[in-house]
Structure 1
Amino acid sequence: MLDLLHTTKTHDETRQGEAVELAPTGKADGRKLYIESYGCQMNFSDSEIVASILIDEGFETTKDYKEADVVFINTCSIRENAEQRVRKRLKEFEFVKSKKPGLIVGVLGCMAERLKAKFLEEEKLVDVVVGPDAYRDLPNLINKVEDGNKAVNVLLSREETYADISPVRLNSNGVSAFISIMRGCDNMCSFCVVPFTRGRERSRDAVSIVKEAQDLFNAGYREVTLLGQNVDSYKYTANVAEGQEPLPTVNFANLLELVAQVSPELRIRFSTSHPKDITDEVLHIMAKYENICNYIHLPVQSGNSRVLDIMNRTYDREWYMERVDAIRRIIPGCAISTDVITGFCTETEEEHAETLSMMDYVKYDFAYMFAYSERPGTLAAKRFEDDIPEEVKKRRLTEVVDKQQIHSLERMSQHVGKVHKVLIEGFSKRSDQDYCGRNDQNAMVVFPVDARYKVGDYVNVLGENCTSATLIGKIVD
């Protein structure tokens, strides 16, 4: 699955768990839109689609929710903490609505899909509840609310990909952008709500994906991340007229190559891979093109085969290790990150130890780590008792985090003394005297500003020292 909200992490440049406010944009007709996005990268991408739809209706976006006419929260349901954070934020909007009765408050995304109309009963200030496949209906739903009604559309679709909508790049650095290549998920991991909140898997038209990448490059962007719940299962076959020869199916390896061919100056990343589906063909395409970054997010979740089985991950410990071996063999130096769940139902101490040993085997560059949180409606909630005490979950999580800190520092230390091609993404969070950007392996690099270079330029940076999360260096010619 995609990167998770409210995870314990050892990579400090992720946007998980942060509200992203929209920069002012659009053609004003007096109505203003404010959106906050939480959770995975797909939610941030979806917010750009929502903004595009409503800007076409005459809205402009604003950074200040207090001046907005419509406020949306694009939500995550991956953990209970994520939903509680949304409810807390709604309480803050409630005060503003009491002073501005015409304010429309809406909840979008996975939490809206999970709770549906029940949300309107639980949160009285909410006027609109919209699932991930119903964003085209937003203008109509807003009109219903303006007429004095509550509005809900949480219908899931087997076809919707929003392929014809050009996302409005909001709060963008003008350098990096997301491209959604597919929606939904057909994997039924027992701990995960995504198949129920985002529907069945469907792949977007390959031509529209390549066009979006080309348009972004022409607009000055120099990096795109191809997004999907499971990018390796991407598969698109174009419809042809009756009597014509069928067109070849485009798989993920084919798509990756097509996007890489847009320009050697356009960097390609992707998220997320599934261990059961990632193929040697994909790895060889990555090795073939210098502009496809040598970085793979490969969630393991657990290092024990029995736990993986009841998680319904459809691979075992040996399969996962073989896939890691293939990555190391075909793409030497490739960075690998992961997701880890501690304290899943019935997990024993011996099985937890196998997760730790898997971490020792792979030595992940960074990881998203969290204790198991039972989610209503999932297969695990229906089939298994959440029987691991919270203190045990947290202790195991601490052990995982401590081990990952060691591995992150070890992996980052390998970048010291080497020259890295870095795309300047902006100023460092800590100082406008330093730039920051990522190298090929997705490591965050911080280095002093050089007046010869600007955001969006590639520079060569010599790594001089590091922390477990950041490589520190200087530009070299």
Structure 2
Amino acid sequence: MPNLPQKTFCLYTYGCQMNEHDSERIAGMLESHGAIQVETVEEAEIAVFVTCCIREAADVRLMGQVASIKNIPLPEGSTLSKRMVCIGGCIGQRDGDALPGKLAHVDVVFGTQNVERLPYLLEAAMAEGGHHVEVLEKSDSFSTDLPSKRDRAWSAWLPITVGCNNFCTYCIVPYVRGRERSRTLEDIAADARALVADGVKEITLLGQNVNSYGRDLYGEPRFADVLRAVSESGVERLRFATSHPKDLTDEVIGLYAELDNLMPSLHLPVQSGSDRILKAMNRRYTAERYLALVDAVREANPDVSLSTDIIVGFPGETEEDFQATYDLVKRVGYSQVFTFIYSPREGTPAASMTDDTPREVIQRRFDSLVDLVQENALEQNRRFVGRTLPVLVEGASKRDDRVLAGHSPHNVTVHAPVPEGLDAASLAGTTVMVRIDQARAWYLSGTVVGD
């Protein structure tokens, strides 16, 4: 077994919730081998980067971060000759052996399929020097099987699938995360029960497409069965991400009316409101089908909050295509929209598509959509004014330690003054009732009521 006695490490995590989960597993795994997690690179003998390659900016950011730590001295008392720099995640999987050529002071490269190999590669790098690269194309194991160190004791990620079979033309995920693999329903249910026994109040099920869960194991999607099984664990709050519209079934939608602990929020990425662009993206649904799903969800639970992802400036997008997206956003009335300007990813079909739309036109479209999104978010949040909502407290507001911050069941940030005689840290992980007094586009504010 690798031995990393008292070696200090810090983690840099970029991208999706799956990367955040992998980082929790890396922290737990390194600590199980004797290492100690620290907050800053100045304190660390080992720097681990868990990377994302969805957008070009992620590559630039990684290169800048890794270069910036090159000349930072090791912490006092270190017995290493240099700081160990490790790159994993999607960029590690994609670039593999090429990374040391781009960043000569990188010591270890590992991929999305072999997270568990990091301690072994680290030990070899410290003993032998040089570059140690190991990237697998596929794996039979799940990072979920590794030890974990959660950032928050009361909240946990619970992956149910890894990989993706959708091959949207703009997306690199199937190439760096592999084909979709599902964990067994029994393992997921057992993990949920163990998390609840450990004090977890909120479980978020993870997968690149949770809706298609089980197709590889059972021959048909069984995501509704997962929701029921995890709900039966008794967890206070149940969420999931991410959901593909083409696989969202009536059975899953119906659970928004049936399961009390399934939170009234749904992230349903639409990407575009234009059928022509959706077809070019290989999304395999139409705007009409998407809107029918939205109506069905709201019929099951009229109080549900919806969020989505939208790409502006996909190759060939016309003004008419963008207007269709704008109209769809206005029609749905999202509580939150993650908007992105299209960024080509090498190796994806869309990267070879030509587009002569001027950048300033794309930026204008993007800006107008952001304005609409803010208007919608404020309108959606105003419906909570005067209501009293259960808020799971995460701690103090970043701006004022006398103001607590948490999330409502609808996944909206809520701020409220800390009750007299208490502090935000003591309330972290508890659920308090907050009367909502004011709405803003991105948060609610109110007053704690009751005990």
Q: Same fold (TM over 0.5)?
A: yes
What is the aligned partner in structure 1 of residue 358 from structure 2? Answer: 389
What is the aligned partner in structure 2 of residue 469 from structure 1? Answer: 442
1:75 alignment partner, one of 43, 51, 74: 51
Which amino acid is 2:243 matched to? S
Given the alignment of the two structures, is residue 199 of structure 1 paired with residue 172 of structure 2, yes or no? no
Conservation of the 8 A alpha-carbon contact between 1:144 and 1:150: no
Given the alignment of the two structures, is residue 152 of structure 1 paired with residue 136 of structure 2, yes or no? no
1:294 alignment partner, one of 252, 260, 264: 264
Query: Of Structure 1 and Structure 2, which has the larger fraction of its residues in helix?
Result: 2
User: In the TM superposition, what whole-angstrom CA distance separates every residue of 1:375-420 from its partner, at most 9, and x where no partner exists?
Assistant: 11111113x1143322122111101101001000000111111111
Conservation of the 8 A alpha-carbon contact between 2:28 and 2:146: yes
Alignment of 1:192-271 (within 5 A): 192-235=171-214, 251-263=222-234, 265-271=235-241
* C-alpha separation in 1, matches of 2:180 and 2:430: 36
* C-alpha separation in 1, matches of 2:317 and 2:149: 44
* C-alpha separation in 1, matches of 2:195 and 2:241: 18
Q: Name segments (4+ residues, structure 1) moved above 6 Å.
A: 97-100, 247-250
1:127 alignment partner, one of 87, 107, 113: 107
Conservation of the 8 A alpha-carbon contact between 1:163 and 1:208: no
Cα 1:414–1:278 shift into 2, 3 Å: same
* C-alpha separation in 2, matches of 1:98 and 1:61: 15
Alpha-carbon offset, residue 107 of structure 1: 0.7
Conservation of the 8 A alpha-carbon contact between 1:191 and 1:380: yes
Cα 1:249–1:378 shift into 2, 3 Å: closer
- Deviating more after overlay: 176-185 vs 91-100: 91-100
Given the alignment of the two structures, is residue 326 of structure 1 paired with residue 306 of structure 2, yes or no? no
RMSD, matched Cα: 2.0
* C-alpha separation in 1, matches of 2:363 and 2:141: 40
User: In the TM superposition, what whole-angstrom CA distance separates every residue of 1:356-377 from its partner, at most 9, and x where no partner exists?
Assistant: 0000110100110011111111
* C-alpha separation in 2, matches of 1:231 and 1:69: 37
What is the aligned partner in structure 2 of residue 343 from structure 1? Answer: 313
What is the aligned partner in structure 2 of residue 428 from structure 1? Answer: 397
> For 1:96, what is the secondary structure of its paired residue?
coil
Conservation of the 8 A alpha-carbon contact between 1:176 and 1:222: yes
User: In the TM superposition, what whole-angstrom CA distance separates every residue of 1:102-157 from its partner, at most 9, and x where no partner exists?
Assistant: 32101110111121211110111111111111112112212331212311112121
* C-alpha separation in 2, matches of 1:273 and 1:233: 9
Conservation of the 8 A alpha-carbon contact between 2:32 and 2:147: no
Cα 1:359–1:237 shift into 2, 3 Å: closer
Conservation of the 8 A alpha-carbon contact between 1:204 and 1:236: no
Which amino acid is 1:86 matched to? L
What is the aligned partner in structure 1 of residue 276 from structure 2? Answer: 306
What is the aligned partner in structure 2 of residue 11 from structure 1? Answer: none
> For 2:72, what is the secondary structure of its paired residue?
helix
What is the aligned partner in structure 2 of residue 143 from structure 1? Answer: 123
TM-score (norm 2): 0.93
User: In the TM superposition, what whole-angstrom CA distance separates every residue of 1:257-311 from its partner, at most 9, and x where no partner exists?
Assistant: 1111111x52111111101011111122232111110100001100000000000
Given the alignment of the two structures, is residue 186 of structure 1 paired with residue 165 of structure 2, yes or no? yes
* C-alpha separation in 2, matches of 1:468 and 1:64: 33
Question: Could you list the runs of 5+ residues in structure 1 that have no partner in the other structure?
Answer: 1-26, 239-246
Conservation of the 8 A alpha-carbon contact between 1:176 and 1:425: no
> For 2:143, what is the secondary structure of its paired residue?
coil
TM-score (norm 1): 0.88
Alignment of 1:349-428 (within 5 A): 349-382=319-352, 384-428=353-397
Residue correspondences, number: 439
User: In the TM superposition, what whole-angstrom CA distance separates every residue of 1:207-251 from its partner, at most 9, and x where no partner exists?
Assistant: 23223222222222211111111111111787xxxxxxxx99781
What is the aligned partner in structure 2 of residue 111 from structure 1? Answer: 91
Given the alignment of the two structures, is residue 162 of structure 1 paired with residue 143 of structure 2, yes or no? yes
Cα 1:444–1:149 shift into 2, 3 Å: same
Conservation of the 8 A alpha-carbon contact between 2:168 and 2:283: yes
Conservation of the 8 A alpha-carbon contact between 1:344 and 1:388: no
* C-alpha separation in 2, matches of 1:258 and 1:398: 42
Conservation of the 8 A alpha-carbon contact between 1:158 and 1:200: no
Given the alignment of the two structures, is residue 33 of structure 1 paired with residue 9 of structure 2, yes or no? yes
Cα 1:91–1:287 shift into 2, 3 Å: same
* C-alpha separation in 2, matches of 1:378 and 1:249: 28
> For 2:246, what is the secondary structure of its paired residue?
coil
Alpha-carbon offset, residue 30 of structure 1: 2.3
* C-alpha separation in 2, matches of 1:193 and 1:215: 34
* C-alpha separation in 2, matches of 1:454 and 1:128: 40
Given the alignment of the two structures, is residue 443 of structure 1 paired with residue 412 of structure 2, yes or no? yes
Which amino acid is 1:474 matched to? T
What is the aligned partner in structure 2 of residue 55 from structure 1? Answer: 31
* C-alpha separation in 2, matches of 1:427 and 1:213: 28
- Deviating more after overlay: 64-73 vs 253-262: 64-73
- Deviating more after overlay: 297-306 vs 229-238: 229-238
